[in-house]
Structure 1
Amino acid sequence: MNRKIISLLVCVLLAVAVFAACAQPVPAASSQSAEASTSTTAAPSESVQPSESASVAAGVTVADMAGNEVAVEKADKIVSLTPAGTEIVCALGASKQLVGIDANSNYPEITQSIDIVGDFNGPDVEKVAAKEPDVVLAGIGLQQDAVDKLKELGITVVVVEATTFEDISKSIELVGEVVGAQDEAAQLAVGIDTVVKNAQDKKPAEEKTVYYAMSYGDMGNWTSGPGSFINTMIELAGGKCVTADQPAPWIEYSLEDLAAADPDIILMDGSMGSTEDLAKIAGYKDLTAVKNGNVYAIDADVFTRPGPRIGEAILEISEILNK
């Protein structure tokens, strides 16, 4: 099985596991949006450049994303088990404190020089422990077994992975507490809220229907449903998700339903192939979006990670909707 299919299956399984355990309503925008409207807007890409300005936290007790109270004595040595967690640490200027990351953590460039301690869905507990970390930043669902084993070894674990769009800012602020970069975290959160407000201010006059092709063809027609990051971002930018009435955040959508929905715009995971490839697939080639050339390849690493680059994703969706 090639790496692309494995990554797809991991994404689907993680999403199902996370939302089954933590499903909750997603609001139209985060609670900081009003404050953000008076803030200076920074380009989303600028907000994730590591400045190495973060100080090391000591003696803090945090409430993590799983509802646990965790005492963090220090954060000189950090292991991150999620790509979003890794990006947040780097965006807060604490990349030099990372001593281990998961194999899917590939951004920013500095991650290429950090040791890998297992796959996202299979952290190697022995490798993590060998790093003697002060704190491990983890996800939930597929990582629960590894988290339990690490705790049994006396290793401090903080669950930082957001499960809804609203929680992304909370996740960033949580990591800010851990690494002692609360001010930087607050700025990143406000930056995301500012992008959301700007996108809402620029909503197209005519509402357009949108479908996200997470996969297609032999890998199945997996897509996003209500409560997923993708659907939330599309709606915040002014689009209408054709899967809004589906029962779960991540689903396999039938070609019959897709034909009936006949979306105006298709966003596709660019790692799965080109827009030309999708246009040749039975069930897609006769869709209005394909015929009109309204199929857009997106970077799934940016669009599906609940981290600092989520503002870039919303901005891109807004630009597509306004074409």
Structure 2
Amino acid sequence: MRVFSHTCSNTEIVCALGCAQMLVGVDADSDYPPEAVAGLPKTGRDLDLDVDAVLALAPELVLTSLTVPGHERVVEALQAAGLRTLVCDPQSLADVYGDIRRIAAALGVDGRGEALVAQMEGAMPCVEPRGPRPAVLVEWWPRPVIAAAKRSWVNDLVVRAGGRNPWGGVDAKSVPLENAAAAAAAPDVVVMSWCGVKVENYRADVVRRREGWVDVPAVTAGRIRAISEAFLGRPGPRLVEGYRQLRQAIAAASG
């Protein structure tokens, strides 16, 4: 089957299923695994996809998503061009598992999908801390602070790793916050996972210098952690690494 992948997470799922040879092209942001994507045609970034270039690759299936605002416009353009699409819009870890199974079924490797889900599930056990759960702010953006909310797989990862998301009750994918509101939640851990920024460019001083944050527990204890968006923002196999790093940060905050 000839497959085009429009998003990083779907590219990584295809490769983790052992189906990299089916890929005929990917979006420009798909960078992992490097050995699988290096030689593939790239037809533009996710929100600026060149649909005509995708058509020229004659894919039998386009894997796309609605995980980023604006993706719906790209999905509509792909479908209007007559391309067969499989659209993912995960809002929980269970949804991520469901997408892996759907993609595996579409590629004719159902068993591999079940095996991948089982592997991920086993690698991310639910931790029940002995004391209170540390409050964890996972921020997708620093100015303004944009925090993961209830309808995010990251909320599930935080809870599994033994933490508590102060915005886990907000019925949204994410929530923008004023500095004062974020500080009032008194996060014990702040996780920088800034969208579209390389992890080496995450700067803890941006968090420390926020007005009114001098007494925030994560700041006073020095628990400001950088976890690449590749491990938390891509709903695919590498969430396992995001969980592992979250677990380390939460364990340190648990004393």
Using structure 2 for the length normalisation, give the TM-score.
0.87
Match of residue 251, structure 1, among 175, 178, 197:
175
Q: Which moved more, 1:295-304 or 1:311-320?
A: 311-320
User: Aligned with 1:214: secondary structure?
Assistant: strand
Q: Is the 8 A contact 1:226 1:243 kept in 2?
A: yes
* Percent identical residues: 25
CA distance in 1, matches of 2:233, 2:86: 21
Q: Which runs of 5+ in 2 are unaligned?
A: 194-198
- Structure 1 segment 51-62 matched on structure 2, within 5 A: none
The reply to whether residue 275 of structure 1 matches residue 200 of structure 2 is: no
Contact between 1:278 and 1:285, CA under 8 Å: does it hold in 2? Answer: no
Residue 215 of structure 1 aligns with an amino acid whose one-letter code is W
Matching residue within 78, 94, 103 for 2:3: 78
Q: How does 1:1-323 map to 2 (within 5 A)?
A: 75=1, 77-109=2-34, 110-140=36-66, 142-196=70-124, 198=125, 200=126, 202-206=127-131, 207-216=133-142, 219-269=143-193, 270=199, 273-323=202-252
> Measured at CA, do residues 245 and 112 of structure 1 come closer, stay the same or move farther in structure 2, by a change above 3 Å?
same
Check the 8 A contact 1:204/1:321 in 2, yes or no. Answer: no
Question: RMSD over aligned Cα, in angstroms?
Answer: 1.9
> How far does residue 190 in structure 1 lie from its aligned partner after superposition?
0.6
What secondary structure sits across from 2:237 in the alignment?
Answer: coil
In the TM superposition, residue 272 of structure 1 has moved relative to its aligned partner by 5.3
Q: 1:271 to 1:94 in 2, by over 3 A?
A: same
Deviation at 1:234, TM superposition (A): 0.6
**Contact kept? 1:82, 1:161, Cα under 8 Å:** no
Question: What are the Cα deviations for residues 202-225 of structure 1, in whole angstroms up to 9, with x where unaligned?
Answer: 432122111122222xx3111111
Unaligned runs of 5+ in 1: 1-74
Q: Could you say what secondary structure the match of 1:148 adopts?
A: helix
SS of the equivalent of 1:93 reads: coil
Cα 1:151–1:209 change in 2 (3 A) is closer
146-155 vs 178-187, which moves further: 146-155
Residue 141 of structure 2 aligns to a residue whose secondary structure is coil
Distance 1:113 1:240, change over 3 A: same
Closer/same/farther in 2, CA of residues 268 and 151 from structure 1, 3 Å limit:
closer
Letter in 1 for 2:43: V
Q: How many residues align?
A: 243
Q: Give the superposition deviation at 1:247.
A: 4.5
Aligned to 2:196: none
**1: distance between equivalents of 2:47 and 2:247?**
32
Contact persistence 1:101–1:117 (CA under 8 A): yes
- The CA deviation at 1:315 is 2.2
CA contact (8 A) 1:176 1:185 kept: yes
Go from structure 1 to structure 2 and tell me whether the alpha carbon gap of 1:97 and 1:275 turns closer, same or farther (over 3 Å shift): same
**Which amino acid is the alignment partner of residue 6 of structure 2?**
L
Deviations 1:142-188 (A, max 9, x none): 33333334334432212134232211111111111122222221111
